Chain A
Amino acid sequence: MSELLVKNAYVIDPINDIKGEIMDIAIRDKMIVESVGSSAEVVDAKGCLTLPGGVDSHTHICGTKVNFGRYMSPEDMRAGRGRAQPYMYPVSGYSVPTVYANTYRYSALGYTTVLEGAMAPLEARHTHEEFFFTSLQDTMANTLFDGNWSVMEAVADKDLKRVAAVVGWTLAAVKGFGVKVTNPGGTEMWGWGKDVGCIHQKIDHFGITPAEIIDYLIQANELLNLPHSVHLHCNNLGKPGNYKCTLETMQRTPDLNDKRQTLYMTHVQFHSYGGTKWSDFCSKSDDVAWMLNRKPQIAIDMGQVMFGKTTTMTADGPMEFNLFRLYNNKWSNHDVELETGSGIIPVLYSRKNLVNSIMWSIGLELALMAKNPWQCMLATDNPNGAPFVKYPEIIALLMSSRYRNEEFSKVHPNTENRVHLPSLDREMDFYEIAVMTRAAQAKALGITGIGKGHLGEGAYGDIAIYPIKTDDIDPAAEYEKIIKGFSSTDYTIKSGRVISRDGNCLLNGNNRTIWVKPKIPDEYDMSKDPEFIKKFERYYSVSMENYPVEEAYLNQRNICIETETKL
């Protein structure tokens, strides 16, 4: 039995409605308890800002396309090399770092739980293999269903329960967490080098529309009682004028769950574009935020873009090809049979570029115009908008209009006429930042019940202690101190063990994989369904027996969330 006592912490814990109190936090073994004995190890937080461990509800750190991002980019590897240190292996990479670099850097930022945003079911083993080495965070993987043939056929047959059964079987087989839908229908069309437009264009052969895929998956998600909602990357990403498609998708979202959102829309910055072409490109964040503010059933993440080099990677294959034709750098693509696709290109977001400057503004505008911080997560869709190491700068931008104005003065001079940012004077406080970086993310993922994202009794002892004395700092004026303070914790504690001190990580945080297994009645068990079995025999290149991810890929401390379904 190990015991730890965090003393004199200045705690903000939004889920438990703690808005800044000096407290002690006691942990026995992995969990937070009311009190511990006098022999407990003591960490003195000295009034420092103490938050639940950070939760990133959308990042790309493990799996086939992430690794291909590293594979194709030795230049990015050279940009982030580091020597071995006690308890730390040598690392490489800036925008797509090695597994160890990812886990160390997230840990230094105080993050203890991360969600890989897109896992192709057929290639799930890869994601789980990398999770094994992501030693300082608990991990989970959203599983791609955007171009799943069995789902699309069931949608064409208007058979909701079959959609749910396919999703349930697949999630359990690949040890996935939630349902990810990326450019629904578009990835299947990309199998023929095409794309869909917005949500009402019919998909070749299947004769259904993206809207129908989204509608059915949302309902199937609730039938399966999954902890997280459908996680949607809308159609038309990155195209001028796409805000209309985004609004239409938002408009049709029902309100089906009283505990969390019904739809999580990701990197909405990339979907809030006005204009008709790049020359009249402008921000439509006002319209999107307006819709968000009247739709509590929707949560979003910002998809903030920050200036500098990064690597874009997404299951949205056609979008990446369009981007490649724009940038003419290098392009990788990887379509996955019967399921999905993906693309990767490196990009440079430049302040001198008008479009990039507008993109940078839109992300901030969305966060500042979303009235309820529980509906808007802080994320960059790492590394698409920017590498996650930029999070402290984004926090500072949200907390200080002075910082925003200074940064705004350096962007392309024509930006002002195309965006709303200069007119927004909201400055967020520490509580709102805590919501956007952990509490809301845990709630949106549906993992507060298993003890994530808060510091209540019975929660996991995941704690981030930042060298920030909230009373001594004026974030609006001293934004540099905010950036520094959020860049490296004094202590990151995971499951009751100190895993990082002053940015130096101690290896082995007893990482776990959180996955979901819906309880499916026999009549909906796809492993016994003749049509489904035929798919494997005839069209997959892997047999059904060799498809599911074996238990050997879950570390022994995995957390399986079994759900009661309404099938």
Chain B
Amino acid sequence: MMKKNVICPFCGCLCDDLGITIEDGKITGVDNGCSLAKAKFLRKERLQSPVIRRGNETIQTGYEEAVTYAAEILNNAQRPLFFGWSGTQGEAQAKGVHLCMLLGGVIDNTSSLCHGPSIMGIQEVGHPGCTLGQVKNRADLIIYWGCNPLESHPRHMSRYTTYADGFFLKNAFRERKLIVVDVRKTMSSDIADEFIQIEQGGDYAVLSALRAMVRGEDEIIPDMVSGVSKSQLKRIVEMCKGAKFGALFFGLGLTMSRHKYKNIRNAVELTEELSRHTKFTISPMRGHWNVYGANEVFTWMTGYPYAVDFAKGIPFYNPGETTAADILFRKECDALMIVSSDPAAHMPKKCVEHMANIPVIHIDPHKNCTSFFSDIQIPVAITGIEASGTAYRMDGVPLRTKKIIETDFPTDTDIISRIYEKIQEMRNSV
């Protein structure tokens, strides 16, 4: 049996045209998917039942016991931290926020380790963006800055940009120009019409130079800016101003390099400046398939896209203070619940050390680095394959990922709801 138009729950592209072959209730083939999608749909190994760590041993347990154990950990905590959320459905994220509100904890999502700085830049100057189809149909100039989509988002170019024919571009590959900006050559830069190789940490200066030149202040620009020649910058500015519709996409090469959120602010302001000459948009390349959804859900429920602290009873937000890495680094939290994420693989050593010293609840279908620091891991259904749920594409378009095979595993939403109810029960019985 083949299921068509399946949505891929891997990266922020949320490609919705996959064909999935299912035989005997198992996935055996993936059409249209990139190699990352195939790996996800065809992955076999997973945790089969909840496990609790006792000393150096892990003991298998049932869901009821696991939920009770997790509820006890959270109910006894003074300052619980809830982290992850980018790999699960919107419904689970909303439940997570309610759980955090109930316990007066801190809730953060993985954007604090990826596009958190983008959000801070946007909070200063805004975000002139658009949906990906708008780019596909109109854009005759694409810029990728600090990202390598051919490897990180393998179908971004074929579905939405370089290779995607659109209404006003019938032969996109020939009619559209591609600029790649990076500190090193990549697969993506190899196919660019212009590759701007900048020195490490030089993005801010290059963005500033481009802004000045778009404003006509060419004379103040030196011959070289962070390893980029003035003549190349001039060429880029002419390409941008001459485009009918330009679309700039940026990745962690811009958000997490030197100057962090100021880079994003500068890039947005460049877009605004170009918008005075032609149509220009800017968009972050979101990594996890529903990290943008976590930002959306947190925002409508708490007012802030990530790093929300309810310790004072009111929602409080201050990235750098209420972000998960900072809280772990300061050894501030005394319990950690992780949903669909792997912070042990991505956070600084000191954060992971604290993780090892506090009770950690891990809700995830698979074992990962964080599993080794978890006091309890509760396996769940894989959203988008075994459970339906809402996800937000990198451009803010919400889609409903589908359940395509049956499973006995409960969903993230089920587990979080049960923990929530158990804690309410415990509190009511006191």
Binding site for B on A (CB under 8 A): 62, 64, 67-68, 70-74, 77, 81-84, 89-93, 97-100, 122-123, 125-126, 129-130, 133, 191-193, 205, 321, 324-325, 330-338, 341, 344-345, 538-543, 545-546, 550, 552-553
Residues of B whose CB lies within 8 Å of any CB of A are: 4-5, 7, 16-17, 90, 94, 98, 101, 119, 122-134, 136-138, 159-160, 165-168, 244-245, 272, 275-276, 278-281, 295-296, 299-305, 310, 313-315, 317, 388, 390, 392, 396-400
22 A–B contacts from the bound complex (CB under 8 Å): A67-B296, A81-B314, A90-B101, A90-B302, A92-B302, A97-B303, A98-B315, A99-B301, A122-B397, A123-B398, A126-B396, A129-B300, A133-B300, A133-B301, A191-B138, A193-B278, A332-B129, A333-B127, A335-B134, A336-B134, A338-B133, A542-B133
Nearest B residue (CB) for A190? B279
B279 and A90 contact, CB distance less than 8 A? no
- Known pairs A72-B127, A539-B137. 9 more at Cβ < 8 A? A89-B98, A98-B315, A122-B133, A130-B300, A330-B124, A333-B281, A541-B132, A542-B397, A546-B399
Residues of A close to B124: CB separation below 8 A: 330
On chain A, the residues within 8 Å of B280 by CB distance are: 193
**Are B133 and A337 in contact, CB atoms less than 8 angstroms apart?**
yes
Query: Which residues does chain B contribute within 8 Å of A64, judged by CB atoms?
Result: 396
Is the CB–CB distance between A72 and B122 below 8 Å? Answer: yes
A564 CA to B245 CA, complexed, in Å: 43
Interchain residue pairs A-B with the least CB separation, the first 7: A92-B303, A337-B133, A541-B133, A77-B303, A193-B279, A330-B126, A335-B130
Decide: B5 and A546 in contact? CB cutoff 8 A: yes
Are B315 and A191 interface neighbours, CB within 8 A? no
Q: Are B101 and A84 interface neighbours, CB within 8 A?
A: yes
A345 to B125, CA, bound (A): 10
Would A90 and B123 count as touching, CB distance under 8 A? no
Q: Which of B5, B279, B300 contacts A98 (CB 8 A)?
A: B300
Minimum Cβ distance to chain A for residue B384 (Å): 12
A324 to B275, CA, bound (A): 11
In the complex, are the beta carbons of A333 and B302 less than 8 A apart? no
Residue on A with the closest CB to B388?
Answer: A552
Report the bound CA distance from A543 to B159 in whole Å. Answer: 12
The answer to whether B160 touches A125, judged by C-beta atoms less than 8 angstroms apart, is no
Contact at A330–B125, with CB atoms within 8 Å? yes
* CB–CB A332/B128 < 8 A: yes
Question: Shortest Cβ distance from B128 into chain A, in angstroms?
Answer: 4
The reply to whether A70 and B123 contact each other, CB–CB distance below 8 Å, is no
Pair B315/A90 contact, Cβ less than 8 Å: yes
CB pair A541 B136 closer than 8 Å? yes
Nearest-CB residue, chain B, relative to A62: B300
Cα–Cα, bound, A325→B128 (Å) = 13
Hey, which chain B residues are within 8 Å of A543, CB to CB?
5, 16-17
Q: Is the Cβ of A72 less than 8 Å from the Cβ of B123? A: yes
Given the interface pairs A82-B314, A98-B303, the reply to whether A331 lies near B167 with Cβ below 8 Å is: no
Of A73, A126, A192, A542, which one neighbours B279 at CB under 8 angstroms? A192
Residues of B within 8 A of A331 (CB): 125-126, 128, 272
A545-B5 CB under 8 A given contacts A129-B90, A333-B127? yes
Chain A's nearest CB lies how many Å from the CB of B285?
15
Q: How far is the CA of A540 from the CA of B167 in the complex (A)?
A: 10
Question: Which residues of A sit under 8 angstroms from B296, Cβ to Cβ?
Answer: 67, 71, 126
* Interface pair A191/B101, CB less than 8 Å apart: no
In the complex, which of the residues B130, B304, B317 contacts A333, with contact meaning CB atoms closer than 8 Å? B130
